[in-house]
Chains A and B, each alone.
Chain A
């Protein structure tokens, strides 16, 4: 039986580091979409600020009054920026559904896939993962209902309690529980994606069932694997924001840019770290089954290629 040992944990990070092209590809797409989402806003802002002495209030510090004044400007420079960002975020999500097949094929094989093979895997698994995403949305509905129930309970406690603190503590616990539950669901669906790629499983519901069985038998190890990575990503993100807000000079341009992009890359890297770790875990799991299963015939060696992986 495979286990989420520290070896798996670090091997996942090592795999992401070793297959950096995947990370860079995703980052470049993310960056490009964000660039296009904000380009119009940036141009409007530039037309107002670049020749204005009043822009110094934003350069030397971060004057919220100047920012609010900019937002209230008759030229409406900030108008539409949120909807543009949401639109490109949707596009990025579609891209990630597309890219996940290639990402998992790369990590599961443990080899460097050339571009053709990578995108072939992307296309090969795309519609499966679209279906899987639909399943995920369905599974998330009860979580949203749970969230709504917790919100109502929070409101009820808040309304009835003389002190605000019981409701606050309830909310803290509820948020943590929902986040932990979301991680649990992500582990489940990520494993289904790994199975789909490793076994070339077309039937998504079957992959989900197998993934659920694996999770049931290895819940703590898999969960702990994901939770650790999540904690690392959140902690680094919080530290990065703290440095940005408190330690960088207000006038500096390059340092905040580099730091912000590092945080984005690191966050994305952590997400890939979870996927890589799960691929390694699953590979180990398959090997363990192959070794422990009594057989009169020697089992075929599990191929490094996902296409060749035998079904258990």
Chain B
């Protein structure tokens, strides 16, 4: 999920490579043409399929409810008999005493509960094939905080254990009450974003069930498998889903039933609205052709070409840099105005974007969000890390890749804003996000244990990106990219850990990087180097000025002192430039608190600069990284002029009442 929101006020253009395929825009009365049935398609076994869900859901738009039945076949690949099974019931988070809402209020005392935000998932029937009706056997558990009012995880004890290697079939009837859009799911007017909507079994991981409660900062974690989902809803609804459309049948009662199939994924979501406009396109990469469906909400159609362009550009970049996109489809949901709570979210083969009716060309909010959510197809979708416990592995790595992708497509210093009067690059945006709350928590922390949601966002997204950008200085950008490629190819369709990632980077780079990751990932140290002092002085300073002037070979002693202000130890380069246009590069391991360089030369100091290549993005203060002997006050004057003008202008406006 994308947290940063970027806004802009003026215009600029950017050139993008033309995408392949032809864009078509249609206002459907019905959903897209079905593809071949799964039986006819060749069997894919990209993942180890643990789960097979069959869901039959009926949407009731006036009541905002879904009545559904679910059949889950679970393969016990845990290596031991299993008698206990936990299930996520995410929609129960949207209740006033849930852990999710309690944390919302904790982080924002102004947060007000709205009755329309109420969401629920009620189990009306639960049976296990061969074991009978167990509806009365399940109970809610709270493994994270013991909040008994939190019903986002239920657990069922089976009468007898499922042997290792065997399958067990759960049959569940449930009812969803959809909330007004909140935290990635819900309805808004005629729009539905249906995510995290069915009972989802936990993951057996590291020798135990991993099924955390739903927190206001956490996302999801699930096993791979297949989904066969039937959705029945009014015939005028236009539907986008995270699966191939197998069939569409109109029913006599004015509804239609759409059947979707998806495999080698760990979740299934869908969206519906009669107001969508479907913009279709396609892109062909190393794994074949990908059909693109962009479902645009009213008033946003102008952003559709932008979504398509950035999708095609990103698909090509990821195909080249990281690995193939193996699915044959990708659906983008554009939430309607006011529905940003449903925007900027990732599900397997379905993402939600975000835009506004007025979006200047030089403000790349739609592009940033779309690229970020698409990137999650790799970092979450395929490399399915545990978002509860190691969110940096999906959000952080994905944000780092977002900087690379956006920079490649829109320019390094202009990839967020490229306006006539102001610019901003993705690298800077992520670093600024990190500086918002840089040192409350280590990156490697369970998502709900961060100081607050702001710290979670700043550190998980911004700091991880900044850590990886700084890692480029140690191992090189190309080596890091190669490491990510190796990590992806090795761990796709599995649940790797942070340790797997670090080991892969060390292996590919051939370097021991523990000293770095221990500080950057496991620690909260801040990095700040400063030019503490820099000046030149005549060596014979005690001689009178007249004597010194007569001597044309005046020798100067130059002192440059570099200080490590904070606790993060990092080797740095220091470039010292003299007025004979010659420079010296010093390398300091940074272990001590400060280091002083002394030079006796016939030239005087012009400037001293730490990290002259500007690669240490973790440095919290770039301005103290350099010192020029001669001041240059142009930047100060420029800002002073703007501040003064603004102050005069505010005074003029207020004085209107005089």
The residue from B275, B649, B656 contacting A162, defined by CB atoms under 8 A apart: B275
A38 within 8 A of B: yes
Closest to B528 in A: A74
* Chain B 620-643 interface residues, beta-carbon cutoff 8 Å to A: 620-629, 631-643
Also in contact, A264 and B626, with CB within 8 A (given A46-B636, A66-B428, A165-B299): no
Q: Mark B597-628, 1 if CB is under 8 A from A, else 0.
A: 00000000001010000000000111111111
- Contacts of B173-200 to chain A: CB distance below 8 A: 189-190
Q: Which residue of A lies closest to B643 (CB)?
A: A38
Cβ < 8 Å to B, chain A residues 62-88 = 62-70, 72-74, 81, 84-86, 88
Cβ of A294 < 8 Å from any Cβ of B?
no
Q: Which residues from chain A contact B621 at a C-beta distance below 8 Å?
A: 69, 73-74
* Cβ-neighbour of B651 out of A49, A88, A159 (below 8 A): A88
Whether the pair A42, B640 counts as a contact (CB closer than 8 A) is yes
B413 touches A89 (CB 8 A): no
Docked pose: A96 CA to B648 CA in angstroms: 13
* Nearest B residue (CB) for A90: B654
Contact in complex: A89, B640 (CB < 8 Å): no
Q: Is the CB of B641 within 8 A of A253?
A: yes
Mask, B404-427, CB within 8 Å of A = 1, is 000000000100110011111101
Q: B431 near A: Cβ within 8 Å?
A: yes
Interface contact B428-A65, CB-CB below 8 Å: yes
Choose among B337, B643, B658 the residue with the greatest number of A CB atoms under 10 Å from its CB: B658
Which of A9-17, A53-61, A285-293 makes up part of the contact surface? Answer: A53-61
Tell me if A30 is interfacial: C-beta within 8 Å of chain B. Answer: yes
- The answer to the question of B336 belonging to the interface, with a C-beta cut-off of 8 Å to chain A, is yes
Interface centre among A64, A67, A186 (most CB of B within 10 A): A64
Q: Which residues of A contact B640 (CB under 8 A)?
A: 38, 42, 45
**B337, B644, B651, B652, most chain A CB atoms within 10 A:** B651
- Determine whether the beta carbon of B609 is less than 8 Å from that of A53: yes
Q: Select the stretch in A108-116, A129-137, A217-225, A296-304 that faces chain B.
A: A129-137
Chain B positions within 8 Å of A31 at CB level: 644, 648
Q: Which of the residues A84, A92, A140 comes within 8 Å of B654, measured between beta carbons?
A: A92
Q: Are B634 and A251 in contact (CB under 8 A)?
A: yes
| Chain A: minimal CB distance from B351 (Å) | 21
Docked Cα-Cα span, A90 to B646, in Å, equals 14
Given A58-B638, A61-B423, A63-B423, are A162 and B625 neighbors across the interface (CB < 8 Å)? Answer: no
Residues of B66-103 contacting chain A, CB below 8 A:
none
Tell me if B435 is interfacial: C-beta within 8 Å of chain A: yes
Bound-state Cα–Cα, A162 to B436, Å: 36
B616 → A minimal CB distance (Å):
12
A41 at the binding interface (Cβ < 8 Å): yes
Residues of B within 8 A of A66 (CB): 428, 622
| Interface pair B423/A264, CB less than 8 Å apart | no
Interface on chain A toward B: helix, strand, loop, or mixed SS?
helix
Contact A162 B647 (CB under 8 A): no
Q: A61-B423, A160-B189 are in contact. Are A256 and B298 (CB under 8 A)?
A: no
Chain B residues lying within 8 Å of A261, measured Cβ to Cβ, are 645
Instruction: Determine whether the beta carbon of B423 is less than 8 Å from that of A163.
Output: no
User: Considering only CB atoms, which chain B residue lies closest to A62 in the complex?
Assistant: B422
Residues of A within 8 A of B643 (CB): 38, 41-42, 81, 85
Q: Are B421 and A30 in contact (CB under 8 A)?
A: no
A-B pair count, CB < 8 Å, reads 214
Chain A residues contacting B338 (CB-CB under 8 Å) are: 158-159, 164
A245 vs B643: C-alpha distance when bound (angstroms): 15
The answer to whether B652 and A49 touch across the interface, beta carbons within 8 angstroms, is no
- Max chain A C-beta neighbours (<10 A), residue from B190, B417, B424: B424
Chain A residue at minimum C-beta to C-beta distance from B637: A253
Closest residue of A by beta carbon distance from B425: A65
**Chain A residue with Cβ nearest B191:** A162
Give Cα A68 to B637, complex, Å.
17
Question: B274 — nearest CB in chain A belongs to which residue?
Answer: A162
A162 to B10, CA, bound (A): 26
Is A136 a contact partner of B644 (Cβ separation < 8 A)?
Answer: no
* Contact residues, A118-141 vs B (CB, 8 A): 129, 133, 136-137, 140
- The residue of chain A having its C-beta at the shortest distance from the C-beta of B650 within the complex is A89
A97–B338 Cα distance when bound, in Å, is 43
Residues of A within 8 A of B609 (CB): 53
**A267 at the A/B interface (Cβ < 8 Å)?**
yes
Contact A85 B432 (CB under 8 A): no
A69 touches B639 (CB 8 A): no
Q: Is B657 an interface residue (CB 8 A)?
A: yes
Q: Is A204 close to B, CB under 8 A?
A: no
Chain A residues near B417: list those with CB within 8 A.
64
From B625, B626, B638, B645, contact of A59 by CB (8 A): B638
Q: Does residue B15 face the partner (Cβ distance < 8 Å to A)? A: no
Contact across chains for B626 and A53 when beta carbons are under 8 A apart? yes
Task: Tell me the minimal C-beta distance from A74 to chain B in angstroms.
Answer: 6
- A61 / chain B contacts, CB cutoff of 8 Å: 423
Contact of B636 among A45, A81, A92, A162 (CB under 8 A): A45
Digitize B367-402: 1 where CB-to-A-CB distance is under 8 Å, 0 elsewhere. Answer: 000000000000000000000000000000000000
Please state if B657 and A264 are interface contacts (CB–CB under 8 Å). Answer: no
B357 CB-CB contact with A under 8 Å: yes
Nearest-neighbor residue (CB-CB) of A167 within chain B: B337
Q: Give Cα A61 to B429, complex, Å.
A: 17
Question: Of B628, B642, B652, which contacts A53 at CB under 8 A?
Answer: B628
CA A267 – CA B649 in complex, angstroms? 9
Return A183 CB to nearest CB of chain B, in Å.
10
Task: Give the CA-CA distance A93 to B657 in the complex, in Å.
Answer: 8
- How many angstroms between the C-alpha atoms of A46 and B654 in the bound complex? 29
With contacts A59-B632, A137-B657 known, is A260 near B645, CB below 8 A? yes
Q: Is the CB of A264 within 8 A of B649?
A: yes
For B190, the closest partner residue in chain A by CB is A162
Contact between chains at A89 and B645 (CB < 8 Å): no
Contact residues in A for B644 (Cβ distance below 8 Å): 31, 34-35, 38, 260
* In the complex, chain B residues whose CB is within 8 Å of the CB of A56: 632, 635
A215 contacts the other chain (CB 8 A): no
> Which residues of A have CB within 8 Å of B432?
65, 68-69, 72
CB-based nearest B residue for A263: B645
Q: How far is the CA of A30 from the CA of B644 in the complex (A)?
A: 10
Indicate whether A58 sits within 8 Å of B635 (C-beta atoms), given known contacts A42-B640, A65-B424, A260-B645: yes
B357 / chain A contacts, CB cutoff of 8 Å: 164-165, 168
Complexed CA–CA distance, A295 and B275 (Å): 74
> Within the assembled complex, what's the spacing in Å between the Cα atoms of A137 and B626?
52
The answer to the question of A106 belonging to the interface, with a C-beta cut-off of 8 Å to chain B, is no
Residues of B within 8 A of A50 (CB): 631-633, 635-636
Task: Decide yes or no whether B5 CB sits under 8 A from chain A.
Answer: no
User: Which of A58, A158, A267, A271 touches B639 (beta carbons < 8 Å)?
Assistant: A58
Give CA–CA (A237, B636) in the complex, Å.
24
Contact A89-B625, Cβ < 8 Å, known A34-B647, A49-B636, A64-B428:
no
Task: Indicate whether B655 reaches chain A with its CB closer than 8 angstroms.
Answer: yes
Q: Lowest 5 A-B CB distances belong to which pairs?
A: A65-B428, A96-B658, A164-B337, A245-B421, A55-B635
18 further A-B pairs in the complex, CB-CB below 8 A; given A74-B621, A253-B634: A30-B651, A35-B644, A45-B640, A49-B636, A50-B633, A52-B622, A53-B607, A54-B622, A56-B632, A56-B635, A66-B428, A66-B622, A85-B643, A89-B651, A92-B655, A164-B356, A256-B638, A264-B645
Name 9 interchain pairs, CB-CB below 8 A, sorted by A. Answer: A45-B636, A45-B639, A46-B633, A48-B623, A52-B628, A56-B635, A58-B639, A69-B431, A168-B357
Residue ranges of B at the interface with A (Cβ–Cβ < 8 Å): 10, 189-190, 275, 298-299, 336-338, 356-357, 413, 416-417, 420-425, 427-429, 431-432, 435-436, 607, 609, 620-629, 631-658
